Amino acid sequence: MVTSVPNRLPSGKNSTAEKLLVAASELMIERSSIEISLSDIAQKSGANAALVKYHFGNKDGLLLALLERNAATELSNLEYLLAQPITATAKLKLHIGGIIRAYYRFPYMNRLIHYLLHETSAGSADEVSKFFVAPLLDFHRRLLAEGESSGEFRKTDPVLFYTSLIGACDHLFFGRHAMSRATGVGPVTDEVCRQYIKHMETLICGGILTQAGEAAAAG
């Protein structure tokens, strides 16, 4: 726990903190930007700006708490997925779609991760690593181990796998803006997400499935 997030509470436990998080989330979606001010957040939530300081230390603390809340939801979905009585290949495909849809649903998540990892204090970056990077990498380790032991996946390094999958999914949202400037590539829509999920399934499954895995993917 970093000192910049002194009074962070589990979501739902404190209605003012919760209201501030919801207001920040809605503002960033409305503006397609993470550039929001404390007074905007206060105004939208109907709370006093001083309460941001009380609950989250400062704006970065609030953004960190928001990202942590979203990450916690996604990570509990991963635990649920891992426990399902389906093949590792089916879990892998659901996971690929899950990442891309999560980024699509919370378009600011991607910008926030970049911002908190690279442009704020080392404390924020450590927190993001702890509640986002480490659990996701751990999930990949377990999923790959499951697929290898069932004979569906060839041996695949989890760190390299994480890097390629998360990098490719992240870039649909982070890189798209730059691409559309130069080339008339359109924005990321529902349909683009569906196409990219299919594309990534083909790449990742093509790259790591054994023949047994391909049979599982087709079945």
Q: Nearer to its own copies by C-beta: 38 or 113?
A: 113
Residues in region 154-213 near its own copies by CB under 8 A? 156-157, 159-172, 174-179, 181-183, 185, 195-196, 199-200, 202-209
Q: How many C-beta neighbours within 10 Å does residue 17 have?
A: 24
User: What is the rounded CA–CA span in Å between residue 86 and residue 140?
Assistant: 16
- Upper half-sphere CA count for residue 143 (Cβ side, 13 Å): 29
DSSP conformation letters of 137-197 = HHHHHHHHHHHHHTTSB----HHHHHHHHHHHHHHHHHTHHHHHHHH------HHHHHHHH
Kindly write out the interface string for residues 41-80 of this chain, putting x where it contacts its own copies by CB under 8 A and - elsewhere: ----------------------------------------
Q: Least Å distance between CB 152 and its own copies?
A: 14
Contact 196, 190 (CB under 8 A): no
Q: Nearer to its own copies by C-beta: 83 or 182?
A: 182
Q: Least Å distance between CB 198 and its own copies?
A: 9
109 binds its own copies (CB under 8 A): no
Q: How many C-beta neighbours within 10 Å does residue 149 have?
A: 10
Contact 208, 156 (CB under 8 A): yes
Kindly write out the interface string for residues 127-156 of this chain, putting x where it contacts its own copies by CB under 8 A and - elsewhere: -xxx--xx--x------------------x
Q: Least Å distance between CB 83 and its own copies?
A: 23
Contact 55, 66 (CB under 8 A): no
What residues line the site for its own copies (CB under 8 A)? 114, 117-118, 125-126, 128-130, 133-134, 137, 156-157, 159-172, 174-179, 181-183, 185, 195-196, 199-200, 202-209
